Chains A and B, each alone.
Chain A
Amino acid sequence: MRAKLFALLVFISLAVAGFAQPAKRTYTIGMSQCNLGEPWRVQMNADIRAAAAQHPELKVVFNDAQNDTLKQRAQVEEFVSAKVDLLIISPKEAQPLTEPVARAFEAGIPVIVLDRAILGDKYTCFIGADNKKIGKAAGQWIAKKLGGKGKVVELKGLMTSIPGQDRHTGFREGIAGTDIQVIFEADMKWLEPDARKEMESALSRFDHIDLVYGHNDPGAHGAYLAAKAAGRDGIAFVGIDALPQEGIAYVQQGILDATFRYTTGGAEAIDTALKIFKGETVPKKIVLGTRLFDKSNVATGGEALP
């Protein structure tokens, strides 16, 4: 009797152990972030973490290269020797990281490149937003808002950076052919205090300003503070990036009239990673659209623009 009971127990525990075995294998994803000093990149990691949390079979290991190209290169090499199942990298620079990424790719690790591109084609998929398109969308929205004519101040991001240049040229394309005049433009280097300073100069020079286009939301916010301190009403403010705690909050508080999202691609990267694990083919390049947030739609999550 006792022997039978023992045998039954053994059988049950074996069966339970058998069922408890994971049905699916787990995947480790290495994520190399170039710099966590910027809120936008903190958001990118948060987006990846949130998307991966929906899939218990995914485990993401995050690494911050602290804005150091060589450190990021070492991180990629560490991920390769740790044999991660997939590598996501948001590279600091194209040239120095092209070869380490290519080596990972040749070692059989799928590579998703986020936001900034690398050279050549030795990676699986590039996901990024298009600043020129966002700038153009902002320009077109502004042209519509002002009825095709008006006086605009442009507070530019660092003009030695590609995003700054693209948000500038895209905007100029967007307002081309209208009677909108850019009466004052200055480089505020993405910094809010600098934006406020430049806006104060614009305010003391021009008695009439219809709208301020800031290349990022903190810039537009700094301009708003300047106008408010000077007691100037009737100026509209438009920014870019639409991070939840910045641009979207400003639109909800009635500070900005509109902001355009520069999507981090974090959620899309996890979607693409899952497709790769399932063996599906993924496009070599995914260009993310933008989302417009203004007073009318901010409560409902904005409006997708192609």
Chain B
Amino acid sequence: MKSFKSALSSPAGRAFLALVLVLAAGAIFNADHAFFKIGTQRDTLRQASVYGMLACGMTLVIVSGGIDLAVGSIVALAAVCAAKMAIHWNWPWWQVVPACLGVGALCGLVSGWVTASLRVQPFIATLSMMVLARGLAKYASGGMKVSTALPNADGSYRYVEIPALFHGIDHSIFGGNLSVVTLIFLVCVALAWLALARHRWGRYLYAIGGNEEAARLSGVPVVGAKICAYIASGLFAAVAGLCQAAQEQQGDPEAGAGYELTAIAMVVIGGTSLMGGRGGIGLTLLGVLTIGYLDKILSINAVPEAGRLVLTGIIIVAAVLTQRRGRT
């Protein structure tokens, strides 16, 4: 009992408890044993992956005391660019992937520069980028989904093959039991963890999030470290956009709307503080799994939309309240 209590005194213990409770709910409301099928597990992890990638970048930004609202729109922009390059222009994958990442990094660079150098509040700076990137996505796609149906000059359509890149990403390995998208997410987690927990830059971000002025006085390159956090967030969002396009087999300029809020919820449920300076990627991974499984359990039980929203809202608030109580 004592060890149980001490486990709950750490944010990781509490985030883990939340995940266990959700999994227990899934075991009870298993929808005729559908919850226990390996396919369900694979789908749950795949569906949470795109949000999870955003949450990785979001964690870096939130630890530094910022927020990145632009990630959902960058997903759409990267998805449109990927579809345009891979389907319409027939680029090979080794050109599409770096180009997409470049677009994401550029968006992050602008957000970071406006926030760190021009000292605009992150909320406002990334809100502007959210609107701007959405506009660019609509402009690049002409307001239509970029799909394998290409318009001819006379208004009719011709159809092209789905690019190999998309098939490669939207694919399952290990006998169809693990999605490549989930693998990409795990790589993102590993990279973000290395940066935040093992690299000097990660220490800088914690220091800036804890007390920016103190960090600056002790010689932390505040502006550079912050800009890099937003670039990383843009990069992860671009990876998410590529995965989104591959799974939809098209680039939808409306994709990713509201994803930034899900990503923030995942980070916060994990126990990372929105005030900055506290948290970690491991916590975010627990948050991603908690929301991912919650979503799946509501879906396999065919809970109506209204009920889903109410339950999700209640559970997020409950999880965040437990996290806060532990901090005093």
Contact = CB atoms under 8 A, between A and B. Distances in A.
Interface of A: 36-37, 39, 42, 50, 159, 184-187, 189, 192-193, 196-198, 200-201, 203-205, 218, 222, 225, 229-231, 244-246, 248-249, 252-253
B143 A42 contact: yes
A30 B155 CA distance: 24
B252 A231 contact: no
Contact of A244 (B31, B148, B157, B299): B157
6 contacts: A37-B254, A184-B302, A203-B39, A230-B39, A244-B157, A246-B145
B290 interface: no
Contacts of B296: 201
Nearest to A200: B43
Contact of A249 (B157, B252, B304): B157
Interface residues of B, number: 37
A249 B150 CA distance: 10
Contacts of A184: 302
B247 A193 contact: yes
Contacts of A205: 31-32, 34, 300
Nearest to A46: B155
A182 to B, nearest CB: 11
Given A205-B32, A222-B248, A245-B145, 15 more contacts: A184-B302, A185-B302, A196-B248, A201-B43, A203-B39, A204-B300, A225-B170, A230-B39, A244-B156, A245-B144, A245-B147, A245-B157, A246-B147, A253-B148, A253-B159
A204 B37 contact: yes
Where chain A touches its partner, the secondary structure class is helix
Interface of B: 31-32, 34, 37, 39-40, 43, 47, 138, 143-145, 147-149, 151, 155-157, 159, 170, 172, 176, 244, 247-249, 252, 254-255, 295-296, 299-300, 302, 304-305
Contacts of B254: 37
A42 B144 contact: yes
A252 B296 CA distance: 33
B151 A245 contact: yes
Contact of A193 (B145, B148, B244, B300): B244
A110 B34 CA distance: 58
